[in-house]
A and B are shown apart, each in its own frame.
Chain A
Amino acid sequence: MAAIDLPLSQPTSRRYQGVWDWITTTDHKRIGLLYLYTTFFFFLVGGLMALLIRTQLAQPNGDLLTASQYNQLFTMHGTTMIFLFVVPVWSAFGNYMLPLMLGAKDMAFPRINAFAYWLIPLGGLVMYSGFFFGGSAADGWTGYVPLAEKLYSPQVGQDLWILGLHIVGIASVMGAVNFLVTIHRMRAPGMTWFRLPLFVWAMEVTSALVLLASPFLAAALAMVLLDRQLGTNFFNPSHGGNVILYQLIFWFYSHPAVYIMILPGFGVISEILPVFTRKPIFGYRAMAMSMAAIGVLGFMVFAHHMFTVGLPLPVQIFFMAATMVIAVPTGVKIFNWLGTLWGGSIRYTAAMLFAVGFLLMFLIGGLDGVFLSSLGIDYELNGTYWVVAHIHYVLVGGSLFALFAALYYWWPKMFGRYLNEKLGKWHFWLLLIGFNLTFMPMHFLGIMGMPRRIATYSAASGWGPLNLLETIGSYVIAVAILIFLYNATISLHGPKTAVNDPWEGNTLEWYTTSPPPPHNFDGEIPEVESNRPLRDWRLAGKEINPPGAVLP
Chain B
Amino acid sequence: MSLVCAVRLGKAAIALGVAALAVVAAPLPVLAGNTNFLNGGGPPVDTIDMLFWVFVACASVILIGVGGAILYAAIRFRRRDPDEMPRQIHGHNRLELAWTIGPLVLLAALFVLNVVNVGYLRHGPSPASAAARQEIHIRVIGRQFYWTFDYPGGKSSLRTLEIPVNTPIELSTESLDVIHGFWVPNLGAKIDALPGIVNHAFIEANRTGTFGGQCYEFCGLGHDQMLITVKVVSMSQYQSYLQHLPAAPA
Query: How far, in angstroms, from A456 to B225 measured CA to CA in the complex?
Result: 9
The verdict on A110 contacting chain B, using a C-beta distance below 8 Å, is no
Q: Are the CB atoms of A283 and B197 closer together than 8 Å?
A: no
Q: Are the CB atoms of A363 and B216 closer together than 8 Å?
A: no
Query: How far, in angstroms, from A348 to B80 measured CA to CA in the complex?
Result: 11
The verdict on B244 contacting chain A, using a C-beta distance below 8 Å, is no
Query: How far, in angstroms, from A363 to B61 measured CA to CA in the complex?
Result: 12
Mask: chain A, 444-478; 1 = CB below 8 Å from B; 0 = not:
10011111111111000111000000000000000
Which residues of chain B come closer than 8 Å to A376, judged between CB atoms? 47-48, 51-52, 114, 117-118, 121, 189
Q: Are the CB atoms of A461 and B33 closer together than 8 Å?
A: yes
Q: Are the CB atoms of B91 and A339 closer together than 8 Å?
A: yes
Q: Are the CB atoms of A444 and B194 closer together than 8 Å?
A: no
Mask: chain A, 271-301; 1 = CB below 8 Å from B; 0 = not:
0000001111011111000000000000000
Q: Are the CB atoms of A341 and B70 closer together than 8 Å?
A: yes
Shortest distance in angstroms between B203's beta carbon and chain A's nearest beta carbon?
A: 11
**Residues of A in contact with B (beta carbons under 8 Å apart):** 67-68, 71, 139-140, 144, 146-147, 152, 237-238, 241-244, 277-280, 282-286, 308-310, 313, 316-317, 320-321, 324-325, 327-328, 331-332, 334-339, 341-348, 356, 359-360, 363-364, 367-368, 370-371, 374-377, 379-380, 382-384, 444, 447-457, 461-463
Q: Are the CB atoms of B118 and A324 closer together than 8 Å?
A: no
Q: Are the CB atoms of A243 and B217 closer together than 8 Å?
A: no
Within 8 A of A (CB), among B177-200: 177-179, 181, 183, 185, 188-192, 194-197, 199-200
The 6 closest A-B pairs by CB, nearest first: A237-B196, A449-B35, A379-B189, A383-B216, A454-B224, A310-B199
The verdict on B128 contacting chain A, using a C-beta distance below 8 Å, is no
Output the nearest chain A residue to B198 by Cβ-Cβ distance: A310
Shortest distance in angstroms between A467's beta carbon and chain B's nearest beta carbon?
A: 13
Q: Are the CB atoms of B36 and A448 closer together than 8 Å?
A: yes
Query: How far, in angstroms, from A313 to B115 measured CA to CA in the complex?
Result: 10
The verdict on B12 contacting chain A, using a C-beta distance below 8 Å, is no
Shortest distance in angstroms between A243's beta carbon and chain B's nearest beta carbon?
A: 6
Query: How far, in angstroms, from A331 to B213 measured CA to CA in the complex?
Result: 36
Output the nearest chain A residue to B115 by Cβ-Cβ distance: A317
The verdict on B15 contacting chain A, using a C-beta distance below 8 Å, is no
Which residues of chain B come closer than 8 Å to A237, judged between CB atoms? 195-197
A interface, over-half SS: helix
Asked, given contacts A310-B197, A448-B33, whether A383 binds B223 with beta carbons under 8 Å apart, the answer is no
Q: Are the CB atoms of A360 and B48 closer together than 8 Å?
A: no
Query: How far, in angstroms, from A449 to B70 measured CA to CA in the complex?
Result: 33
Pick the residue among A280, A335, A339 that contacts B88 (CB under 8 A): A280
Query: How far, in angstroms, from A99 to B142 measured CA to CA in the complex?
Result: 54
Q: Are the CB atoms of B32 and A448 closer together than 8 Å?
A: yes
Query: How far, in angstroms, from A324 to B212 measured CA to CA in the complex?
Result: 31
Asked, given contacts A283-B92, A332-B99, A363-B63, whether A147 binds B121 with beta carbons under 8 Å apart, the answer is no
Query: How far, in angstroms, from A367 to B78 measured CA to CA in the complex?
Result: 27
Q: Are the CB atoms of A316 and B118 closer together than 8 Å?
A: yes
Query: How far, in angstroms, from A309 to B200 measured CA to CA in the complex?
Result: 10
Pick the residue among A284, A317, A360 that contacts B90 (CB under 8 A): A284
Asked, given contacts A308-B192, A317-B118, A448-B35, whether A359 binds B89 with beta carbons under 8 Å apart, the answer is no
Asked, given contacts A316-B118, A448-B35, whether A377 binds B86 with beta carbons under 8 Å apart, the answer is no
The total of Cβ contacts below 8 Å across the A-B interface reads 264
Shortest distance in angstroms between A269's beta carbon and chain B's nearest beta carbon?
A: 12
Q: Are the CB atoms of A449 and B212 closer together than 8 Å?
A: yes
**Residues of B in contact with A (beta carbons under 8 Å apart):** 1, 28, 31-33, 35-38, 45, 47-48, 51-52, 55, 59, 62-63, 66-67, 69-71, 73-74, 77-80, 84-92, 95-96, 99-100, 103-104, 107-108, 110-111, 114-115, 117-119, 121-123, 144, 177-179, 181, 183, 185, 188-192, 194-197, 199-200, 212-224
Using A279-B86, A344-B73, A451-B215 as known contacts, list a sample of 4 further A-B pairs with CB atoms less than 8 Å apart, ordered by residue number in A. Answer: A237-B197, A286-B96, A339-B89, A449-B212
Output the nearest chain B residue to A247 by Cβ-Cβ distance: B179
Pick the residue among B35, B52, B77, B191 that contacts A310 (CB under 8 A): B191
Which residues of chain A come closer than 8 Å to B115, judged between CB atoms? 317, 320
Output the nearest chain B residue to A357 by Cβ-Cβ distance: B74
Which residues of chain A come closer than 8 Å to B212, judged between CB atoms? 449, 461
Q: Are the CB atoms of B194 and A243 closer together than 8 Å?
A: yes
Query: How far, in angstroms, from A107 to B195 measured CA to CA in the complex?
Result: 49
Q: Are the CB atoms of A455 and B224 closer together than 8 Å?
A: yes
Pick the residue among B183, B197, B221 that contacts A243 (CB under 8 A): B197
Which residues of chain B come closer than 8 Å to A310, judged between CB atoms? 191-192, 194, 197, 199-200
Which residues of chain A come closer than 8 Å to B107, judged between CB atoms? 324-325, 327-328, 370
Shortest distance in angstroms between A157's beta carbon and chain B's nearest beta carbon?
A: 14
Query: How far, in angstroms, from A383 to B226 measured CA to CA in the complex?
Result: 14
Q: Are the CB atoms of B223 and A348 closer together than 8 Å?
A: no
Output the nearest chain A residue to B90 by Cβ-Cβ distance: A280
Determine which residue in A147, A332, A450 has the highest number of CB atoms from chain B within 10 A of its CB, and name it: A147
Which residues of chain A come closer than 8 Å to B31, judged between CB atoms? 444, 447-448, 462
Q: Are the CB atoms of B220 and A147 closer together than 8 Å?
A: yes
Q: Are the CB atoms of A313 and B122 closer together than 8 Å?
A: yes
